[in-house]
Chain A
Amino acid sequence: MDVTLSTITKSFGAVTAVDDLSLNIHDGELIALLGPSGCGKTTILFSIAGIYKLNQGQILFGGKDVSTLPSQQRNVGVVFQAYALYPHMTVFDNIAFPLKLRNESQSEIKRKVHEMAELTEIAELLKRRPAQLSGGQQQRVSLARALVRNPSVLLLDEPLSNLDARLRTSMRAEIKRLQRETGVTTILVTHDQVEATTMADRIVCMNKGTIAQVGQPFDIYDSPQDTFVAGFIGSPPITFIQGDALQGMFSVGDVQLPCHTSLVGDATLALRPEFIELGCSRDMNSFEGVVSEIEPMGREILYHLNTPLGKLTALETQGRPSYTLNQPIAFSWSNDKALWFDSTGKRVTA
């Protein structure tokens, strides 16, 4: 079922958490709301679930306005950050709870719970209590409970943040598989960009209660529309170089670079670490920096450089470190990989 948020606003007292926000979510899509804490992403999730009442705007499920419906009548499945399993019930009763509330027949409940337990691979845990389960198992029970009644939309609130790193990777794939197999429209809230880029069909990058950018993971990574998105997405993070632009020239200290002529005044050049080519021959497009720090990250090596442009980070993507501390390195980048932003932080494309 597709979900439409139409100019929604939600404030708590004087604080506006979500400000006049609109978004279309397609049927069967897994969309991620990504942003730093306090950007309003969980507020949106709880508004869709009916836990928060909107100040303004509408929420539509398949064209039907549900903004005034109470939570109980919206048929949303929610997986909470701490799972919120009912500690006094067995796993079976936890999953069966939403079905019992609908007065479904015993045999029907049994069939559906077992089917869902099969799908989430917890069939052998049905008699246990939540306290006897590991974090990953609790997560599966929570997913099963949310999915068992065929929700119009599945809402995931930071579903992986309570798991350890290894489990997180496997649960990521697991949630994606469940979503694909059930075809349920899913909204994932996360502050972890890896979670968002690996799982989501589309990412909604949020900043201070508004949408900064919506797009497919690669889109957002390759062409961020403003400095916020550019800085938030990407790890290790992008480097910003602030300078002055005038008549197609961008100056940082003594260095001058050609730039787009529409840039005037304060401007920002952003370079992703992996697009910096290290050890190129010295020519007029290259610069020289000194290695100030080396961070081996396993497969890759991250260098911190002191350069005439300021501090830069660069990634050597294969092999073992070819440079040592305090060693001068020549570097350059190809112009089509450089991202330019104007004085308001908006992207300027050549």
Chain B
Amino acid sequence: MSQNYRTWPILIFLTFMSLILFLLYFYFLLDTVTNQAPGTIWPSEFTLEHWRFLIEPIEGRQSIWRVTLNTIIFASSVTLIVVFLSSTAAYALSRLNFPFRSAFLGGILVLHAFPSVTLLIAIFIILQLFGLYDTLQGVILVITALELPLGIWLMKGFYDTVPWESEMAAMTDGASRFRVWWQIMLPQVRPGLFALGIFAFLSGWGSYLFPLVLAPSADVQVLSVYLSSLIDSLGRTDFSLFKAVGLFYMLPVVIFYLFTQDKLMNVFGGAAKG
């Protein structure tokens, strides 16, 4: 009991500090559905005009739904490819003995540590060479490639925790190597697959710089690029609209995160217990 009372001052302090954050979010939300006179804090009227972009495209721009679809395709493709390639590559790196294995492992680590922004111009030129510039496929490939080192390294960690005997048992039971991987190994690294999938989806959804540079035109825009394009260089930015689109962009991720955060924690926990 007394223990509980003693923590009250701390709790009150933390609550108060968090209130400031809540206040920010509250205004963020409020601004998207109200208007206010310039220079005042309190809103003067309720309005849904800032959400008009949901119904009709903003003049001179792509429909928000098309952009959202682009983003979903983009993030899901990245997720699927990263999860598939990481789970196969990491299995090989964890279990098979092939030439240059350790060099490969080291290479992956270096790639993971490499600041990818420095590759921007090189990637730009390569994509143009292959005719993939300003296409969704192109930028999907690039983000996938950048996410793979982390994915492979992560999955290798999960495979490493699965005992060898599990695999030997399956082989003596008569399972082929592929079946061992598919039916015995994959189920045992499922927490890793989930975590990596969520991780890859979030970073696909959130990536901005590469899509901006590599896929800028209206047809292949993703939400992050669309959002930034709302900031008018001439200073006539509609900030309420910007906030509304921002909220629209953010909401799916927040909901997604709420439902999957326990699985995402496995990235840091690492243990694969069935």
Which residues of A are in contact with B by a Cβ distance under 8 Å?
46, 49-51, 70-78, 80-82, 84-88, 97-98, 101-102, 129, 131, 145, 149
Contacts and interface: CB of A to CB of B under 8 A. Distances in A.
Contact of A88 (B171, B172, B174, B187): B187
B168 interface: yes
Given A51-B171, A72-B171, A131 B274 contact: yes
Nearest to B165: A84
B86 interface: no
Interface in B165-216: 165-166, 168-176, 179, 184, 187-188, 190
A84 B169 contact: yes
Interface of B: 163, 165-166, 168-176, 179, 184, 187-188, 190, 273-274
Nearest to A82: B165
A72 to B, nearest CB: 5
A46 B174 CA distance: 15
B179 A76 contact: no
Contacts of B176: 72
A72 B188 contact: no
Interface of A is mostly: loop
Given A82-B163, A88-B274, A102 B168 contact: no
B184 A86 contact: yes
A88 B166 CA distance: 11
Contacts of A75: 174
B171 A98 contact: no
B96 to A, nearest CB: 15
A78 B274 CA distance: 22
Given A82-B163, A87-B188, A88-B274, A72 B168 contact: no
Contacts of A85: 169
B174 A78 contact: no
A98 B173 contact: yes
A86 B166 contact: yes
A75 B174 CA distance: 8
Contacts of A77: 172
A87 B171 contact: no
Given A84-B166, A86-B166, A78 B273 contact: no
Given A82-B165, A84-B165, A86-B166, A97 B274 contact: no
Contacts of A74: 172
Which has the most chain B C-beta neighbours within 10 Å: A49, A50, A51?
A: A51
A51 B168 contact: yes
B175 A78 contact: no
A330 B179 CA distance: 69
> Closest 9 interchain pairs by CB?
A87-B274, A84-B165, A88-B187, A84-B169, A98-B173, A101-B174, A80-B165, A88-B274, A71-B171
Contacts of A145: 169, 173
Contacts of B169: 78, 80, 84-86, 145
A49 B168 CA distance: 9
A84 B172 CA distance: 12
A78 B184 contact: no
Contacts of B273: 87, 131
11 contacts: A51-B172, A72-B171, A77-B172, A78-B169, A80-B169, A84-B169, A86-B170, A88-B188, A98-B173, A101-B173, A102-B174
A49 B165 CA distance: 12
Contact of B172 (A76, A86, A102): A76
Nearest to A75: B174
B174 A49 contact: no
B179 to A, nearest CB: 7
Which has the most chain A C-beta neighbours within 10 Å: B165, B174, B176, B274?
A: B174
Contacts of A149: 173-174
